[in-house]
Amino acid sequence: MTFTNLTDREKQILKALIDQYISSAEPVGSSVLAQKCGLSLSSATIRNILKDLEDRELVMQPHTSAGRIPTTLGYRLYVDYLLRPEKLTKSDKEKIQANINLEFKGIDQVLEQTSRVLGNVSMQLGITISPRFESGVLTRLELIQVADRRVMVVLAMKSGLARTVILEVESELKEKGLVETSYILNELLCGLTIGEIKNSLKERLATPTSGDPYLIKMFIESSEELLKFSDEFDLHLGGTHHILSQPEFQDPVRIRELIDLIEERRTVYELVSNAGVDGTTIMVGVGGKRGGSAEELSLLSATYLAGRFKGTLGIIGPTRMPYSRLLGIVNFTAKRLSEVLSE
């Protein structure tokens, strides 16, 4: 089935039906479409068009006497060819800008808040995934004394991203030891990726030629914290209660399916991270177990930047979601998050 096989009337009826179903969550009849589509067509003519669309598996009747609802295939054609993104409202922009800001100091805190904002503004399930920093190259390492027994470790990466960690030491710090230790750590570790450092740190620092042995030992013992730019599997979810309030999830079986998906976090992680490398992606029918029914899930995702590293955020909701509005939310949120993380 291709979009070009449809007549202009069929395209308009399909779009009007999906727009109406997204708004009402109720099967759409020919009499409603006669009022909504603006084509001055009779209900009988529209019924014939709907029968053709049903034969093409673009719409279906949940019950014999009911109106029609879109199938997954119908949604896909709608998303690919008929969708017109809405301009984001001033209210939505203000909510997103106000709640994604530098009051949240760490990247994990910012991403956690972003997932909540996405969930609250969209009324769906908001998702953020941290960038993968394992491939980032370390360019500079500094040890700076900030108190008698406290040292600040600064790790700078080629992308421009930097991480600082304060460590407590048990003995008095000496300037010479800090300088020599900084020098040897830079000599042995700079130019390597974070992943390479994690995998070989103990071997590389086993027999250093200079530096304070205690500081080097402390660096090795604290490496898990120092090198934790993000977890390999770093997923944040927000707005579960919003998606559960959607009409599609009034059925206990559907609620259980959704909760199972959310609890299987790796499935969500892989789904979102594989959605697309760049830009905005819409995936229709990513969940559910009922073939062409409209009770599956859809995903809208976009990439954001943290320095030169790319992460992904998105929204998961029922296939009957207001794609036009949510596209604007996802894109604006990705832009706002990139701005905050670049600061």
Give the residue with greater pLDDT, 248 vs 3: 248
Give the span between the Cα atoms of 23 and 313, in whole angstroms: 25
- Tell me the percentage of the chain whose pLDDT exceeds 90: 36
Which range has the worst mean pLDDT, 46-50, 93-97, 261-265, 285-289?
Answer: 285-289
pLDDT at residue 218 is higher than 60: yes
**208 or 78: whose pLDDT is higher?**
78
Query: Residue 207 class from Cβ within 10 Å (0-12 exposed, 13-18 middle, 19+ buried)?
Result: exposed
- As a whole number of angstroms, the distance between CA 61 and CA 21 comes to 13
Q: Rounded mean pLDDT of 123-138?
A: 86
Distance CA 3, CA 51 (A): 17
- Give pLDDT, residue 48: 93
Q: Cβ neighbours of residue 160 under 8 Å, at least 6 residues apart?
A: 307, 308
Q: In what order do the strands lie in the sheet with 280-284?
A: 235-238, 125-129, 309-318, 297-306, 280-284
pLDDT at 277: 60
Q: What letter does residue 28 receive in the DSSP assignment?
A: B
Start-end of H helices in the chain: 8-24, 30-36, 43-55, 72-77, 90-99, 107-122, 175-189, 194-204, 213-221, 223-226, 240-244, 252-263, 265-273, 323-342
Q: What is the model's pLDDT at position 322?
A: 94
Measure Cα distances from 234 to 156, 273, 292 in Å.
21, 11, 32
pLDDT, residue 178, reads 86
Q: Confirm if 255 and 263 have CB atoms less than 8 A apart.
A: no
pLDDT tens-digit map of 224-280: 888 876 655 688 999 999 988 888 888 888 888 888 888 888 888 888 877 766 678
**SS3 for 101?**
coil
Q: Contact at 8 Å (CB) between 254 and 248?
A: yes
% of the chain at pLDDT higher than 70: 92
- Mean pLDDT of the 111-136 span: 90
Backbone φ and ψ for 14, nearest 5 degrees, come out as -60, -45
Identify the pLDDT of residue 293. Answer: 40
pLDDT band at residue 2, thresholds of 50, 70 and 90? low
- pLDDT tens per residue, range 290-327: 443 445 789 999 999 887 788 899 999 999 999 999 99
pLDDT of 120 reads: 95
The whole-angstrom separation of Cα 42 and Cα 45 is 5
| N-term to C-term CA, the chain | 47
Give 317-329 pLDDT, tens digit per residue. 999 999 999 999 9
Q: What is the pLDDT of residue 101?
A: 82
Is the pLDDT confidence value at 96 over 60?
yes
**pLDDT number for residue 231:** 55
Among candidate residues 146, 162, 175, 133, the one with its CA nearest the CA of residue 154 = 162
User: Model confidence at 19, in pLDDT bands (50, 70, 90)?
Assistant: very high
Assess whether pLDDT exceeds 80 at residue 103.
Answer: no
Given a cut of 70, is residue 26 above it in pLDDT?
Answer: yes
**pLDDT value of position 289:** 46
Cα–Cα distance, 291 to 60 (Å, whole number) = 12
pLDDT value at position 54? 93
Domains observed in the chain: 3-82 (1.10.10.10), 90-131+233-342 (3.30.450.40), 138-226 (3.30.390.60)
Q: What is the pLDDT of residue 284?
A: 86
Asked whether the predicted pLDDT for residue 44 surpasses 60, the reply is yes
Calculate the average pLDDT of the chain: 85
Average pLDDT on 161-190 reads 85
Provide the pLDDT for residue 17: 94
